Structure 1
Amino acid sequence: MAIVSQNEKQLVAESYIMNVYDQIKQRNANQPEFLQAVKELFKTIQPVFVQHPEYIKYGILERITEPDRIISFRVSWVDDRGKVQVNRGYRVQFNNTIGPYKGGIRFHPTVNESIIKFLGFEQIFKNALTGLPIGGGKGGSDFDPKGKSDQEIMRFCQAFMTELSKYIGPDIDVPAGDIGVGAREVGYMFGQYKRLNSYQAGVLTGKGVGYGGSLGRTEATGYGTVYFVEEMLKEKGLSFEGSTVVVSGSGNVAIYAMEKAESLGAKVVACSDSNGYIYDPDGIKLETVKRIKEGERGRIKDYTNEHPHAEYFEGCNGIWSIPCDIALPCATQNEIDVESANILIQNGVKAVGEGANMPCSLEATDLFLENDVLFGPAKAVNAGGVAVSALEMSQNSMRLSWTFEEVDEKLREIMKNIYRKSVTCAEKYGYPGNLVAGANISGFLTVAEAMMAQGVY
């Protein structure tokens, strides 16, 4: 038998990955967000195929990048004027190798098939990193909740769930919230699911605590973001204590990332919404932000009405020009581009943790890594939300409820484990200190091994 050299193995792996990516580009030429997610993974996994050439034979990459199914449906609903409105709904059931499809639902006018596939693809590996038995999926609609009445949102959610309910279930596919979908929207969808089917608490997560939800779920993604970054900082002898932090966004993820960072001794000086950002050099008053965004559903500029010493700026990109030690992008994808990354680096940023889904462009990510900025990638950093969603599923299955402290402790341990696995895989596969590569490889290996074990289907 001919002995294949290490160099030959590397060439075979490189050629295989390039060929698969070329095929994906041809098939998905008009889906830039999905292609970005695929490219981000493919940049780091060549060493895996050198060590596991059997993955090539069994077409792991071809299979893992093609969704099990994509469901697209019409959502017809009636607005307050009695006019029929039509939106488009999606559910991408990407991969259920290690458990039922699990991923949020996003209501936003930018939602299209590319974005839902990008989010669903990321979800496969994010969920695998948690160590919990959940597969990857995602859903949403181009419906915009902004400016809609509660009754309009209820009617839309009911119409959306009427279609979606045909494809989901506690052991099949378990949706949750995402941008534009909070406790209110989840509640409306859960109520409609019950009307159409028997009571099944585990069909949705992110529910209200009074009807099957988990304590700690609201805080989970934001807290988990800070727990991961805290581990990253410890490695370099740094901490949140005394650090200046900038957080983009002002939804659940941002609010509770700010809350946890402040509890660890940091001063958060800026946050934003889709219109602009506020800068408070004395430190953001979180209770004001919570009341404006959670209670009044207002705009972040209203903060300056109560705190006139703070400044409000139109537009979002400028938030990254504020000098900080730690940047936590918690708003949306690709919010930090090369220009913003360069400004952060010039201003001495020490760490960046992606609280949102891939908020840094690939080029921005490379810049941070090249300049020795501690960088936590989204699929690892923001896995806390889906981790506690899986804990909610467990509580629903067992018909019990854990205390906030129990959930928070489990979350913290999960985030520590994700960090350790990312560090270990980065070192083992030739990327010491590169948590992007480590998280990609750790999540990918978990799913690939399960796919190998289960055969081709």
Structure 2
Amino acid sequence: MSNLPAEPEFQQAFHELESTLKNSSLFEKNPEYLTALKVASIPERIIQFRIVWEDDAGKLQVNNGFRVQFNSALGPYKGGLRFHPTVNLSILKFLGFEQIFKNALTGLNMGGGKGGADFDPKGKSDAEIRRFCYAFMRELSRHIGADTDVPAGDIGVGAREVGFMFGAYKQYRNEFVGVLTGKGLTWGGSLIRPEATGYGLVYYVSHMLKYLGKSDYSGKTVAISGSGNVAQYAALKCLELGAKVVSLSDSKGAMIATSDAGFAAEDIEKIAAMKLKHQSLSSYDCADKFKYVEGSRPWTICGKVDIALPCATQNEVSGEEATALKEAGCYLVAEGSNMGCTLEAINVFEASRKEAGALGMWYAPGKASNCGGVAVSGLEMAQNSQRLSWTSEEVDEKLKGIMANVFEAGVSTAKEYVPVAEGERPSLVAGSNIAGFVKTAKAMLDQGTWWANL
């Protein structure tokens, strides 16, 4: 890692994985895996290209496009496309690196990748977004395919953008194949896909609750950050299961419930409609139920909570905010966003995990707790391969089963490689990292990507 250019997000993701592997007995029992880590830390391929497109005024615009094809040991590269002005290689490498092990944990045949462009869809007309998507796919279509690389949506890439890109790919390649996931239901999409990340997060946390002997969500107070797709569906599922949701947020501030009832399903639905119009939460007119605190995140201002679900973006929980959550009585933290917690925050959670009884906190990393979205993307790929469509009940049951298996893999692997004192919660971050890494490394070894005697 020392000879890499400054890539802070990727280096953070790498060091988070490396530190948990080194602090376990994995390398002591299997020293050859140090070689596998070196190999796995470098993408198999990085594609960078320019995107030239025409705006509504007839002026040419240019953006940078990327696809990081990180690891294909377990299947075709799989990971989202992000359209946002902050997109750069460091962020995409971090996301692609996390995606390798997240996809491995699902048990489905998917490798890891990520891509996107520094294009901002906000304020653009449908016609401009269509022209951009066609220009973007003109180059990307040369490098992806149903058995090679299957992108999905991410920040700035929703159903509209996926539709435009699928149409472009079909035009350029003359193929109707499952080359993208998150498609429309009438042309290859899967039921439950929009809900999957948020639902999967809530299903995962339900296993954490049961492990602690706390039964279910009934009567629990849940703080959620973000107000996009993941946060919306996590909130709706929490409400359905009997919890009280007390916060949402956006890039400008946090919305906190001021009434005992918290958020209702109708509030979430209204906020979802606002987000489609790119409106800030500050414009939500319901002062008797909520207050909007500009420049803040929920973790220090929402009062007593049982469960915290960061669902916005990376590094949205700092060390200080982690301490504030602990002081607010929070005992479960699970990431709906990718790398939602800083290393300092994770250190707070991991130290607290070792405390006895009600004092301890338990933290689940995004590669485990938010893998429901990519899991259902994998199920969409399976349906496309069979030319079938499963019912929402079938998909939801498969999602529940996958999240249960991901949780059990994290717990059992942690107990195998990380010493656990009597009454101590196993480290889900260590267990999930090791389980995903070992599965990928073994596949790479079998395929001759690395050798144990190097």
TM-score range relative to shorter protein: over 0.9
The equivalent position to 1:395 in structure 2, one of 376, 379, 383, is: 383
The equivalent position to 2:236 in structure 1, one of 259, 262, 284, is: 259
Deviations 1:80-131 (A, max 9, x none): 2222111111100000001000000011111100000000000000000000
Letter in 1 for 2:269: K
The equivalent position to 1:375 in structure 2, one of 339, 363, 377, is: 363
1:77 is matched with 53
Whether the 8 Å contact between 1:161 and 1:193 is mirrored in structure 2 is: yes
The equivalent position to 1:288 in structure 2, one of 230, 242, 267, is: 267
1:301 is matched with 281
Query: Structure 2: how far apart are the matches of 1:55 and 1:270?
Result: 42
Whether the 8 Å contact between 1:272 and 1:300 is mirrored in structure 2 is: no
What SS is found at the alignment partner of 1:71? strand
1:128 partnered with 2:104: yes
CA RMSD of aligned residues (A): 1.5
Query: Structure 2: how far apart are the matches of 1:357 and 1:431?
Result: 27
1:279 is matched with 256
Query: Structure 1: how far apart are the matches of 2:288 and 2:187?
Result: 41
The equivalent position to 2:33 in structure 1, one of 55, 77, 80, is: 55
1:243 is matched with 220
Query: Structure 2: how far apart are the matches of 1:230 and 1:84?
Result: 50
Q: 1:306 deviation in Å?
A: 4.2
Number of matched pairs: 431
Using the aligned pairs only, state the percent identity: 55
1:337 partnered with 2:318: yes
Whether the 8 Å contact between 2:225 and 2:297 is mirrored in structure 1 is: no
Query: Structure 2: how far apart are the matches of 1:120 and 1:250?
Result: 23
Letter in 2 for 1:216: I
What SS is found at the alignment partner of 1:72? strand
1:328 partnered with 2:309: yes
Whether the 8 Å contact between 2:48 and 2:66 is mirrored in structure 1 is: yes
1:6 is matched with none
Q: 1:148 deviation in Å?
A: 1.5
Query: Structure 1: how far apart are the matches of 2:38 and 2:21?
Result: 14
1:86 is matched with 62
Query: Structure 2: how far apart are the matches of 1:319 and 1:83?
Result: 44
Deviations 1:120-145 (A, max 9, x none): 00000000000001000000111111
Report the CA distance shift for 1:63/1:355 in structure 2 as closer, same or farther (over 3 A). same
Bigger fraction of residues in helix: 1
What SS is found at the alignment partner of 1:366? helix
Letter in 1 for 2:266: E
Report the CA distance shift for 1:149/1:311 in structure 2 as closer, same or farther (over 3 A). same
Report the CA distance shift for 1:286/1:108 in structure 2 as closer, same or farther (over 3 A). farther
The equivalent position to 1:158 in structure 2, one of 122, 134, 139, is: 134
Whether the 8 Å contact between 2:239 and 2:265 is mirrored in structure 1 is: no
Letter in 2 for 1:50: E
Bigger relative contact order, structure 1 or 2, given CA contacts below 8 A and separation 6+? 2
Q: 1:454 deviation in Å?
A: 1.0
Deviations 1:40-67 (A, max 9, x none): 00111132221113334xx211210000
Letter in 2 for 1:344: L
Query: Structure 1: how far apart are the matches of 2:132 and 2:311?
Result: 26
Letter in 1 for 2:224: V
Deviations 1:341-381 (A, max 9, x none): 11111111111010000110011011012123111111000
1:443 is matched with 436
Query: Structure 2: how far apart are the matches of 1:318 and 1:172?
Result: 40
Letter in 1 for 2:20: T
1:176 partnered with 2:164: no
Q: 1:166 deviation in Å?
A: 0.7
TM-score (norm 1): 0.91
Report the CA distance shift for 1:92/1:123 in structure 2 as closer, same or farther (over 3 A). same
1:410 partnered with 2:398: yes
What SS is found at the alignment partner of 2:340? coil
1:18 is matched with none
Query: Structure 2: how far apart are the matches of 1:321 and 1:232?
Result: 25
Query: Structure 2: how far apart are the matches of 1:258 and 1:81?
Result: 41
What SS is found at the alignment partner of 2:20? coil
Whether the 8 Å contact between 1:125 and 1:444 is mirrored in structure 2 is: yes
What SS is found at the alignment partner of 1:202? coil
Q: Which runs of 5+ in 1 are unaligned?
A: 1-23
Letter in 2 for 1:364: A
What SS is found at the alignment partner of 2:2? helix
Whether the 8 Å contact between 2:102 and 2:371 is mirrored in structure 1 is: yes
Q: Which runs of 5+ in 2 are unaligned?
A: 353-359, 421-425
TM-score (norm 2): 0.92
Whether the 8 Å contact between 2:246 and 2:263 is mirrored in structure 1 is: yes
Query: Structure 1: how far apart are the matches of 2:438 and 2:119?
Result: 36
The 10-residue stretch of structure 1 (307-316 or 435-444) with the greater mean CA deviation from structure 2: 307-316
Whether the 8 Å contact between 1:288 and 1:303 is mirrored in structure 2 is: no
1:213 partnered with 2:189: yes
